[in-house]
């Protein structure tokens, strides 16, 4: 017997509703207490589901953090891309993409650093890790789009530069030495490195 389309649609809506509840519960608890101080049982209780159901959506607390942070990262990247489109200067446009990503990552410092660690060391085949890696790729693509405004750059070189810019951003956010630094201080550190890296920097050094 075939399954009625209405039943399939209702089942998918129920799954999405549970996922939304899990994400909201994890986001609130992680923001209030930090990922290390929250248990999966607390998240399940707050989402009003059983732990068995919770593990159907995320098998570990790390995956739950990825679920939460990926959503915030995606919003931050969209904000940065929109801001960059309105900024003609290439260097400033690249920094416009980076700023909301850094702000997002530093809302809860321990959570942000754990998120970066999960991206680097997690299983790339696991859906939440795969989505996080995809966001990194999309970040580099956004930077490439900005760099390609410079007619001197070939796409291959722009892609290499974007990859280095992404590495600078991630290392600055993850570095233990930067734990106590503010968003603006981290952005200043990133800015100095990118300014020297990008070929357009040489045309603007007299202004710095």
According to DSSP H, which parts of 34-126 are helical?
Answer: 40-47, 51-57, 61-85, 90-105, 109-121
Instruction: Specify whether 86 is located in the same domain as 188.
Output: yes
34: left (phi over 0), alpha (psi -120 to 50) or beta: left
Instruction: Specify whether 101 is located in the same domain as 183.
Output: yes
Which tokens go with 174?
A: 């993850």
Instruction: Specify whether 40 is located in the same domain as 93.
Output: no
- From the list 112, 105, 98, the residue with the least C-alpha distance to 167 is 98
Instruction: Specify whether 195 is located in the same domain as 103.
Output: yes
Question: What is the structure's pLDDT at 121?
Answer: 87
Instruction: Specify whether 129 is located in the same domain as 189.
Output: yes
Which residue segment(s) compose the domain that 48 sits in? 1-57
The crossing angle, in degrees rounded to 10, of helices 90-105 and 155-174 is: 30
Q: What is the pLDDT along the chain (208 residues), one digit of tens a residue?
A: 455 555 558 878 888 888 889 999 998 999 898 888 999 999 999 999 988 888 888 888 888 999 889 989 999 999 999 999 999 999 999 999 999 999 999 999 889 999 998 888 888 888 889 999 999 999 999 999 999 999 999 999 999 999 999 999 999 999 999 999 999 999 999 999 999 998 755 444 434 4
| Stated pTM of the model | 0.83
Task: Give me the sign of the Cα torsion angle 39, 40, 41, 42.
Answer: positive
Question: What is the structure's pLDDT at 203?
Answer: 44
Maximum CA pair distance of the chain?
Answer: 74
Task: Give me the sign of the Cα torsion angle 94, 120, 117, 62.
Answer: positive
Give the CATH number, domain containing residue 8.
1.10.10.60
Give the CATH number, domain containing residue 95.
1.10.357.10
Rounded-to-10 torsion of CA 171, 152, 199, 163: 10
Neighbouring residues of 119: CB distance < 8 A, sequence distance ≥ 6: 66, 129, 132, 133, 136
**40-89: pLDDT as tens digits:** 999 999 999 988 888 888 888 888 999 889 989 999 999 999 999 999 99
Which tokens go with 94?
A: 């690249």
Q: How many CB atoms lie within 10 A of CB 52?
A: 8
Instruction: Specify whether 8 is located in the same domain as 30.
Output: yes
């Amino acid at each position: 017997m075939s399954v009625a389309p209405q039943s399939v649609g209702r089942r998918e809506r129920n799954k999405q509703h549970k996922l939304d509840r899990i994400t909201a519960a994890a986001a609130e608890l992680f923001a209030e207490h930090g990922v290390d101080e929250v248990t999966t049982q607390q998240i399940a209780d707050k989402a009003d589901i059983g732990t068995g159901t919770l593990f159907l959506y995320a098998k570990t607390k790390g995956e739950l953090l990825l679920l939460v942070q990926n959503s915030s990262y995606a919003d931050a990247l969209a904000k940065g891309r929109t801001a960059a489109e309105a900024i003609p200067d290439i260097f400033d446009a690249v920094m416009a993409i980076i700023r909301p990503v850094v702000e997002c990552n530093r809302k809860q410092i321990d959570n942000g650093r754990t998120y970066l660690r999960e991206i680097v060391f997690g299983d790339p085949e696991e859906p939440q890790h795969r989505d996080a890696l995809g966001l990194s790729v999309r970040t580099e693509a956004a930077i490439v789009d900005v760099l390609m405004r410079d007619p001197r750059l070939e796409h291959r070189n722009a892609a290499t530069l974007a990859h280095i810019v992404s590495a600078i951003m991630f290392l600055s956010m993850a570095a233990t030495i930067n734990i106590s630094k503010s968003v603006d201080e981290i952005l200043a550190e990133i800015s100095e490195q990118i300014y020297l890296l990008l070929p357009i920097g040489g045309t603007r050094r007299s202004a710095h």
